[in-house]
Amino acid sequence: MLIIILFILILNVVSILLMYRSLNNRNSKEKLIFIAMGIALMYILTSVVYWISTRNIEMTEVSDLGKDLIIFLFVPINGIIVLPLFARTYCKFKDGGISGTILKNRGIVLGIILLILLIVECSYFENIQNQVVKMITDRSNQVQQETTNELSTEQSNEIVNNAGTTNQIEVETTNVVNDTYTNENAEQANTETDNVVEAVPSNVVE
């Protein structure tokens, strides 16, 4: 999961840098406006295509996470393919290098390329969504299993420790009982001996 998120971040950075460099002779404000509008357009189009492709899938919390991963993955991909090219054409138009007609025609061509790309993505989004959901679910189950195993191990160790403590208490109790019984027997034997001595006539002793 961390690798996928890192990959998405890298793609977004690359997409922004490519657009920024393609607008190298524009001022910073114009660059930021173009980049923001381009990313917003790609996000809207990708979201609409995703909704069309996965409208029959029951959405859950895991599905929503998969949706976010897919959309934020394909927004920069679509942007990298189309936006830097359009940015260069836009700069040439602004500099007077091409006419408005050429700008329009190139925009239509890039729009057709983007439309084909979105149609291809639409046919694959449902399958990609299922794979992403399966990956997230498997990872979640793995984490839960590891947690369960750790809890089971801790409980087993606790049971063993409790059993050892119980056995130790039983042994100590048995030893105390045995010592008490031995002491009682010794006292009883001493008492009986004293009684026998007292019972012997004094003349016999002499």
Residue ranges making up the domain that contains 13: 2-156
Q: Kindly state whether residue 96 falls inside one of the protein's structural domains.
A: yes
Q: Kindly state whether residue 48 falls inside one of the protein's structural domains.
A: yes
Q: Kindly state whether residue 41 falls inside one of the protein's structural domains.
A: yes
Which segments of 54-99 does DSSP mark as H helices, in order?
61-94
Two tokens at 81?
A: 């393919």
Q: Kindly state whether residue 163 falls inside one of the protein's structural domains.
A: no
Higher pLDDT, 194 or 180: 180
Whole-model pTM? 0.60
Average pLDDT, the chain: 77
Q: Kindly state whether residue 28 falls inside one of the protein's structural domains.
A: yes
Count of domains forming the chain: 1
Instruction: State pLDDT tens for residues 119-169.
Output: 888 877 777 767 766 776 777 777 777 777 777 777 766 776 665 666 666
Instruction: State pLDDT tens for residues 33-83.
Output: 999 999 999 999 999 988 888 777 665 555 667 778 888 889 999 999 999
Q: Kindly state whether residue 192 falls inside one of the protein's structural domains.
A: no
